[in-house]
Structure 1
Amino acid sequence: MDSPIVSTTLQACVLSAASNLIAQGITAYQNKVPFSVDWTPVVQFVLFTILNSPPNFLWQSFLESSFPATYVTPSSKAIAAAANNDEKKLDAEEVNHEIVETKLSVRNTTIKFLLDQTVGATVNTLLFSLVFAGFQGATTAQAVQIAKQDFWGMMYAGWKLWPAVSAINYTLITTIEGRSLVGSLAGVGWSVYLSLIAGGK
C-alpha cells in the first residue's frame, strides 16, 4: 500500500517543478529573452519539497488529531423525539442512522487555523530562507541573516493567500490527503512567487 506521505510528497514535487518552470517562463517574458530552462533551481525546489512536505503532512495530521474538525451530537430529530417520549421515532432514526449528526467544531477549527498561520507559517518561512540561502552558498551566519531579512516580507505575502486556503481546508476538506492536494494546488502560485524571489537574489 502506498504511504500517504510518499504520494503527497511526490505530488508536491511535480507541482513544485512545474511552478519553477512557470516562474522561469515569466522571467524570460519580462526580460524579453528566449526561454531556456535552467534545471538547477528546478532541482533545488524539488529537493526543498522533498525536505518540506513530510513534516508538513505530519503537522497537519497532528493538528487534526489534537483538534478534530467535527464532533458528534444528537440530531434535532432525535432531540425532538426524546422530548416527546416518542420511542418509535427514536428507534426509526437509529435504524436510519439519523439519531446523531456530525457538526463542525468552530473552536477546534479556529485553533488549527491560528496555529497553522503562526507556528506553521513561521517554520515554513524560515526553512525556505535557510535552505535556499544554503543552496546559494551562504554560510550558516549569512543564512540566518538572510532569513531574518526575508521573514516579515514573506510572512505578509503568505498571509494574502494561505489564510483563505486554510479556511477552505479546515471547513470543507475532511482528509489530510485532500488538504494536501488543495494546499499543493494553491502552492503552485505561491511557488511561482517564491521562485521569482529566489531567482532575484
Structure 2
Amino acid sequence: MPSLVVVTIQSALLKVAANITAQTLSQWGAETTLGIDWARVLEFALFGLISAPLISFWQQVLEETFPTQNGPIEPNPHAQPPTQKPSQRYQTNWPNVIFKLVLDQTNGLCFTNIIFITCTTGARVQSIGLLFHEIETRILGILKAGWKIWPVVAFVSFLWVPLQWRVIVTSLVGFGWNIILSFLSR
C-alpha cells in the first residue's frame, strides 16, 4: 500500500510529465519553438502536490460513508452443503456506488477543478477578484470536458480498484487528461 507521500509525489510527477508532453506536442513541427515554460510546469507540480492528498481524503470519506461492498454474503442455510470451503463473497451496494459517483462527479470534480484553476492561474492574476472571475469563466467548460471521461474512470475505480490505489490509478489516467488540461489552460 503506497503512503500518502508516495502518492502525492507520483501525482505531481505525472502532472509535470503531462504538462511537458503537452508543451512539446504544441510546438511539434513549428518553425520556431519557445522551449518549455517552466512556470507552467511548476503550476502543474503544485496542482499535483495540493490535489493528491485532498483527493485521497475525499476518496476515503466517500468509501467510508458509502461503501461499495456490503459485508460478506451469508450462505443460505437451506442450500446443499458446499463440497469445498466457501470463499467470502461480498455484494456490491449499487445505490452507494451510484450516489458516490454522483457526489464525486459534481462536488469532487468541481472542487478539484477549482484547485486546478487556482494553481494554474493564481500567480498570474492581480487580485482575488480576478481569480474568482477566472474560476467562474472556466469551470463549466472544464467540467463539461471532464464529464466525457471521469464518470467512467470513477465508476471502474469504485468497483474494482482498492481504495489505497485509486489516486494512483486516476493519476495515470489523468496523465492524458492533464495533457488536455494543459491545452485548455493556455
Q: Given the two structures, how large is their TM-score scaled by the length of structure 1?
A: 0.84
Asked whether 1:83 is paired with 2:78, we answer yes
Asked whether 1:140 is paired with 2:128, we answer yes
Shift of 1:34: 3.6
Q: Does the CA contact (< 8 Å) of 1:169 and 1:179 recur in 2? A: yes
1:83 aligned counterpart, secondary structure: coil
Q: Does the CA contact (< 8 Å) of 1:25 and 1:35 recur in 2? A: no
Shift of 1:63: 0.4
Shift of 1:177: 2.6
What are the superposed Cα offsets for residues 10-57 of structure 1, whole Å, 9 maximum, x if unpaired?
110110110010011111116443472222211111012111111110
2:89 aligned counterpart, secondary structure: strand
Matched residue, 2:65: 66
Matched residue, 2:182: 195
Matched residue, 1:18: 17
Q: Does the CA contact (< 8 Å) of 1:17 and 1:42 recur in 2? A: yes
Q: Count the aligned residue pairs.
A: 186
Matched residue, 2:35: 36
Matched residue, 1:159: 147
CA 1:30–1:145: 2 relative to 1, 3 Å: farther
Identity across the alignment (%): 25
Task: Answer with 1 or 2: which has the greater Rg.
Answer: 1
Shift of 1:193: 1.4
Q: Does the CA contact (< 8 Å) of 1:8 and 1:177 recur in 2? A: no
Q: Given the two structures, how large is their TM-score scaled by the length of structure 2?
A: 0.90
Q: Amino acid of the residue matched to residue 83 of structure 1? A: H
Q: Amino acid of the residue matched to residue 101 of structure 1? A: R
Q: Which runs of 4+ in 1 moved over 2 A?
A: 30-38, 72-75, 130-133
CA 1:83–1:155: 2 relative to 1, 3 Å: same
Q: Amino acid of the residue matched to residue 78 of structure 2? A: A
Q: Amino acid of the residue matched to residue 166 of structure 1? A: A
Q: Does the CA contact (< 8 Å) of 1:5 and 1:54 recur in 2? A: yes
* Unaligned stretches of 5+ residues in structure 2: none
Segment drifting more, 111-120 vs 31-40: 31-40
CA 1:3–1:183: 2 relative to 1, 3 Å: closer
Asked whether 1:169 is paired with 2:161, we answer no
Q: Amino acid of the residue matched to residue 149 of structure 1? A: T
| Bigger relative CO (Cα 8 Å, ≥ 6 apart) | 2
Matched residue, 2:108: 120
* Unaligned stretches of 5+ residues in structure 1: none
CA 1:30–1:168: 2 relative to 1, 3 Å: farther
Computed over aligned residues only, the root mean square deviation of the Cα atoms, in angstroms, reads 2.1
CA 1:103–1:74: 2 relative to 1, 3 Å: closer
